């Protein structure tokens, strides 16, 4: 939310997990127009908000793995 009296441009960064195990796959489902770097899992948004505007970013991913595997998501 931009509470200022002028427009602001911000960079928002987040990250999805990156699997090193070929049996475990991570798929980005919804990134709200963010740019995904597949190597690092880094998602970046550059947003310009007018005065008083608010923006919500939807960020979803899916992890698929065999039942025999134990998976920790940090």
Q: Where are the domains of the chain?
A: 8-61
Please give the Cα distance from 55 to 52 (Å, whole number). 10
> pLDDT at position 6, please?
95
Q: Distance between CA 43 and CA 37 in Å, rounded?
A: 6
Share of the chain above pLDDT 90, in %: 68
pLDDT tier, 68 (very low <50, low <70, confident <90, very high otherwise): confident
CA distance 47 to 36: 15
Beta bridge partners of 60: 30
Say if residue 56's pLDDT is above 70: yes
- Say yes or no to pLDDT of 55 above 70: yes
Indicate if the pLDDT at residue 72 is higher than 80.
Answer: no
């Amino acid at each position: 939310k931009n509470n200022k009296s002028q427009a602001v441009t911000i960079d928002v960064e987040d990250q999805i997990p990156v699997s090193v195990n070929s049996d475990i796959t991570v798929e980005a489902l919804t990134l709200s127009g963010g740019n995904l770097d597949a190597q690092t899992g880094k998602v970046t948004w550059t947003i310009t908000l007018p005065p008083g505007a608010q923006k919500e970013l939807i960020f979803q991913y899916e992890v698929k793995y065999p039942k025999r595997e134990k998976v920790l998501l940090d």
